[in-house]
Structures are given as C-alpha cells and as structure tokens.
Amino acid sequence: MKFSNTYINLGQAFFQRCLPQKSPAPELLLWNKPLADDLFISEELQSDKCLLSQYFSGSKLPEGAESIALAYSGHQFGHFNPQLGDGRAHLLGEVIDKNNKHRDIQLKGSGQTKFSRRGDGKCALAPALREYIMSEALFALGVPTSRCLSVVITGETIHRGLAKSGAVVTRVADSHIRVGTFQYFAARGDITSLKALVDYSIKRHFPEIENDTDEPLSSEQGILSFLSCAIDKQINLIVEWLRIGFIHGVMNTDNTAICGETIDFGPCAMLGVYDENKVFSSIDEYGRYAFGNQGKIAHWNMARLADCLMPLLIDIADKSLSKSEQEQQALNKVEHLIHQYSHKFDDAYFTMYGKKLGINNGVANKSLISNLLATMQSENLDYTKTFLQLTKSLSDENIAKKVSNTLGDWYQQWLVVLAQEETLKSTTQSGIQQSYYPLAESLMEKNNPVVIPRNHHVEAILEFCETIIGHNPSAITSSTKEVINNKVNEFLDVLRSPYKEIAATTKYQETSEDSDKYYQTFCGT
C-alpha cells in the first residue's frame, strides 16, 4: 500500500495527531477483496491475514501511514455543536485507486482521541458489520457511498448496556471532508483555514472548477462554483437514496460529506411499506430525518454550508462598499444558489421516479408519479415489491392482472403514458410472450432492484454473528470465523446482484412478518 496524506498539508488546525489503540487479540473477520484489488493492495499482503489484522485493527501502522483524527463541528438534529471531531476514528492516509482517485483509509472503533468527549472510542461488532453490509449493498445498487475494506475483531469486550465483542471497521471514502468541517472553522472565524479548505476541496473533488477559470480557486467565482457543485452532489445522493428506499437516519451536518457519498451507517434502515414519514432511528424522536424529509434536510444542510462560505465572500468583497452592503451582496449570491435547490431537486426527483416507471420524461408526469406514491401510502404497499411487480407486469399477464386490481385506474393511465413513448411490440413471437413495452421494461429493470438489504435480514445476520462469537471474543476459532464468513458472504452475494436474480435471491426477498412495525435502529456508539 502506497500511502500519502495530502490533508495533513492543510495544517495542524485541521486534525490531531494520535495513534490508534492496540488491540489485545485482533482477528481478521471480513476482508473485501474486490475493493482491496481496486486499491492495488498486493496479493502478498492480502495473503497475510495476521498482518492485515494488525494493520486494520490499528495495532500496527502500515508503512507510510500517518494516523490523525479530523476536526469538525456539526448541527446534530438542528442543534449546533462547535466541537465534535473523530472521537473513535483514525485516518491513516490516502491511496490511489484503479481510477486514479485519492481514497481515504480510515479506521473506525480504533480508540480514543481528544475529540472522544468521554467516550471509549470503540465500536461493537454489530455496528461494524452493519456498515460493511449496508455500504456494499448501496455500492452494488449504484448509490454513491463510502465502502468497507475489512472488519477486525479486537479480542476485547466493550460495554453498550450489555457486553459486546469489540471490532474495528476500515472505511474507504473519497474523503472525510464534511459540511461540519467548514462549520468548524467558520465558527472560529478562521478565514485562512476556510480558504485553504475550499481550495483543497475544489482540487480534490471538483477539478472542473479549477479548469474553468484562470482566477484563484477561492475567488468569488470559485467559491460560488464550489457551492453549486456541492449542492448538485447532495441532490444526486438523496435522490439515489429515495430510489432504493434508503433512510439514513442521522443526516447531521457532520455526516454530510462534500464529495456526495453516504457515510455513517449507524441508524440507517430500508423502507418496507411505503410511508414518506417513516422513521426507524431511535434517536430521531420528531421525524426530522424521515424518509420523505431527506431532500429537505439536504437543502437545509447546504444552506449551512453557504453560511460558512459567506465570510470568504465578504473578505474579498468590494472594499468601497459598507460592511452591511458587503454582507448583503454576499448573501444575495449564496441565496441565489440555495434557492435553486428546490427546482433542481424536484427535477431530479421526478426524473428518477419516471425511470422507475419506465418513463423518460418524469417531470412531465408529476401527477402520475405523485398519485402512485399516494396510493402506495394509503394502501400500505411495499415499496420495492410494488415497483418490481410493475416491471414484471409488462411481460407477465398474470402479474399485470394482479397489479391492475391493486392500483385500479392508475395502472391503465400508466400504460397510456408508456404507449406514448414507444411503439408497441407484437404480443407473440415464435409462440413466446413478448414485452409490450421493451424500452420501458429495460429502463425499469435498471432502476428497480429485485432485492434490497431488508431490515429483518440484516438484523438476523448481526444477531447470528454476535451469538456465535459470544462474550469471549478473544477465544474466537478459525471454524467460527469461517461460519461467520459463509453467513455474511451468502447474503452479500445476493446483495451484490440487486438487479438480477441469482439462486439465493428468493431467500432474502420476503418482507418481515410485522412489516417492520416495531423495528428500531440505534447509533451504535
């Protein structure tokens, strides 16, 4: 592994140098070989399970790694905390992947830092497994996401109400720069660091801005272009969450990555029965981060990013203007971009749902889409299964009859729209039933998964792994690790084929018996 750490060059204000805590008996439990290959991790290193367990538990630093904990602030459920930071994570550095992109390698659950706020800095096994499973599922579904390279059992018992096996999960991300990172320096009035952060973020994530102008990156145009690009990234991310029924559960600004990736899988869950007000997170008492609120919250989070950029715009404003005039001018410029969010989001939202329905112009069919979602809500229809059945109904008359009975007149209205977009094919060819709407069906198959990581299946895997390891994680055996690997990887094999059924797909398609009525997720800290 060839490490660099460009983030360190930003200066000591951005991080704390600290070492992970050594684990008493680290054992490599899960290893993501496809991701390791993408990161050019040598076969020689990948074959050395003992050394991997040392590196990715934090017990030993790989050559070239420089361990740091990142500083950031954040709005947590709408309340600003000026001092958060990595309280149980250590960034080892960056490696270059097969796409020539810098990817952060970060240990999570690796011990205390100065940002731990009286926490132990540790992670239990179940949250580590959840992040590994869910991030791989989202990646396969085509959702921008951080990924997990490994899960290592540390050999220690930690206490989360009950005794739990400790673990360290290695997260790979485009970066760990958050809205909260900008808030950290804005709250301190540190214009120099804010400017450096904008420059760094543009170079790393939005090089197209750098190529568009001969002006400095942190010029007025550079700052506004950066905000616009960050907004576009968030819109794309949230719309992709909505497409597959993902509920993040804790969309605080410290969990909002500038690069537009999903990070922090603590209280996340998947939507079963469609309900725009659905909340699973135990700490989201008022539904702030409900399924249908996620677009609005991303808008709010981007407004907080705009707040942080205001001092930079004021600092480079026309000095002939009064202070109040400078502030108003800066406000007008960022407000213009923030106000564009709603229009951009609506276009992306209806375009996405159009594709789920095989319609190229979803924006022109807003009422059709909205009426379907309203029916799904009132009739308590399963989100994934409804869209899957609609897809299959285009080539299966029996399924078409069932879906038509459920959705009534809406179904025929939908077919009329499809007919307007493509020429109908013959019903039979060589005696075989053919799709009436081949273009629509093809589009739907790419956007409607046949399987998702349903909550009860995820929980069953986590419970199985916790039970088999028990309360003595230091005594784990090779056979125990093999059993866990087989269990998790069978599930992942299915999740990595979300748009095409394989032999084991049906095993993980059924809904929970109580439709997740009493299901709750937890932060995991």
Rounded to the nearest 5 percent, the helix, strand and coil shares of the chain are: 50, 15, 35
Q: Is 399 exposed, middle or buried (0-12, 13-18, 19+ CB in 10 A)?
A: middle
Q: Which residue is associated with the tokens 């029916």?
A: 375
Q: Which residue is associated with the tokens 């979803």?
A: 362
Pairwise CA distance, residues 176 & 200, whole Å: 12
Beta strands 428-429 and 432-433, pairing class: antiparallel
Pairwise CA distance, residues 36 & 95, whole Å: 11
Q: CA 199, 13, 309: angle at the middle one, nearest 5?
A: 40
Q: Do 457 and 508 meet the contact criterion of CB atoms below 8 Å apart?
A: yes
Q: Is 254 part of the annotated catalytic residue set?
A: yes
Catalytic residue (choose from 86, 104, 174, 254): 254
Q: If you write DSSP's letter for every residue of 154-210 in order, what string do you get?
A: EEEEEEESEEEEEEEEEEEES---BHHHHHHHHHTT-HHHHHHHHHHHHHHH-HHHH
Q: Would you give the end-to-end CA distance of the chain in angstroms?
A: 30
Catalytic residues: 254
